Amino acid sequence: MAEPTLTISDRIQQELDRLTRAERQLAHSILENYPASGLGPLTALAKDANVSTPTVARMVQKLGFKGYPEFQNELREELKAKAKNPIAKHDTWTEGAPSGHVLNRFTDAVIDNIRHTLGQIEPETFDRACALIADTAHPLYIVGGRITHTMAEYLFLHAQIIRPRVTHIQSTSNAWPHYLLDVGEGDVFVIFDVRRYENNTLKLAEMAHARGAKIILFTDQWRSPVHSLADICFSSRIVAPSAWDSAAATLLLVESVISAMQDINWEDTKDRAERLEDMFDQTRLFRKFT
């Protein structure tokens, strides 16, 4: 399908010469605040341009639309496309694969999720969360559920290098109450809970909250019930062309948190990472070369 790629703005400018006096007046009024003015009621647009309503109706028909509503519809489509576009300039991500291929469809969805997720985050909130997570004055607990424990563990594995006193709890394990024994005022909990919200996770959050712990929640756009207990809540978009959800946007947030954490405690982190390297050397766990 060959996209016209001709915006209404373009079309109006093209026709400008063929338009009559009142119509030109109107055209300029539309272009003045494009596309906002065209999206209001016909009456308002006419008054704005100091022309009569039928002039508006006639002009949109001259431009090839059946009526004003159809004209507005296309304006809105344009707006939608514009919002999507900055990133979607890639027709296909994988060369040689049709745009309907899983890889392309899935990647589109993930990029979209990322954009929406990031768009909803206030940088101050994010910074505050990172400061809390990086604060070594309080123990850090990381909690995940059935699927999300993978994200929790990913965070844990890195947090463990960056700072001491980090614990990973799986809410699906029935041993989780044990961990709460030592929890006190001001301890920090990072909790992951996405769709198919888990009862165990909620109970755990309630108990942690009752003990005065601060809760940072990573959830989806519909928000886990834990969010009412959370001090800070990040909701990622997780929709994907699949029977299951995508964790990609969540992972991006987690990795950003890790990156921010290490910047906060850089001296410590460097030191700890070096000591870790030494220990790895002694265990011969990794290959020295290649």
Partner DNA sequence: ACAGCGTTGTAATAAATTTGACATTATTCT
Partner DNA sequence: AGAATAATGTCAAATTTATTACAACGCTGT
Which residue in the set 200, 205, 218, 219 belongs to the binding site for a copy of itself (CB under 8 A)?
200
Cβ count within 10 A of residue 61: 14
Three-class SS of residue 59?
Answer: helix
Q: Residue 164 touches which of DNA, a copy of itself, none (CB < 5 to 8 A by kind)?
A: none
Q: Residue 67 touches which of a copy of itself, DNA, none (CB < 5 to 8 A by kind)?
A: DNA
Does 163 bind a copy of itself (CB under 8 A)? Our answer is no
Here the tokens at position 218 are 């990573």
Which residue in the set 29, 158, 187, 194 belongs to the binding site for a copy of itself (CB under 8 A)?
158
Q: Give the containing element (helix H, strand E) for 152.
A: helix 149-162
Rounded distance, CA 257 to CA 127, Å? Answer: 9
Three-class SS of residue 165?
Answer: coil
Q: Residue 116 touches which of a copy of itself, DNA, none (CB < 5 to 8 A by kind)?
A: a copy of itself
Q: Residue 238 touches which of a copy of itself, DNA, none (CB < 5 to 8 A by kind)?
A: none
Does 48 bind a copy of itself (CB under 8 A)? Our answer is no
Q: Give the max Cα distance, the chain.
A: 85
Q: Is the peptide bond before 69 cis (omega within 30 degrees of 0)?
A: no
Residues in region 164-183 near a copy of itself by CB under 8 A:
172
Choose between 154 and 179: whose C-beta lies nearer to a copy of itself: 154
CA distances from 213 to 100, 134, 135 (A): 47, 15, 14
Choose between 35 and 139: whose C-beta lies nearer to DNA: 35
Does 207 bind a copy of itself (CB under 8 A)? Our answer is no
Residues in region 70-99 near a copy of itself by CB under 8 A:
72-73, 76-77, 79-80, 83, 86-87, 90, 93-97
Burial class for 12, CB neighbours closer than 10 Å (0-12, 13-18, 19+): buried
Residue written as token pair 């003045």: 32
Residues in region 14-43 near a copy of itself by CB under 8 A:
16-17, 24, 28, 31-37, 39-41
Q: What residues make contact with DNA under the rule CB under 7 A? A: 20-23, 41-44, 50-58, 60, 66-69, 72, 289-290
Here the tokens at position 243 are 């029977």
Choose between 68 and 141: whose C-beta lies nearer to a copy of itself: 68
Q: Is the peptide bond before 35 cis (omega within 30 degrees of 0)?
A: yes
Mask for 104-123, x = binds a copy of itself (CB under 8 A): --xx--xx--xxx-xxxxxx
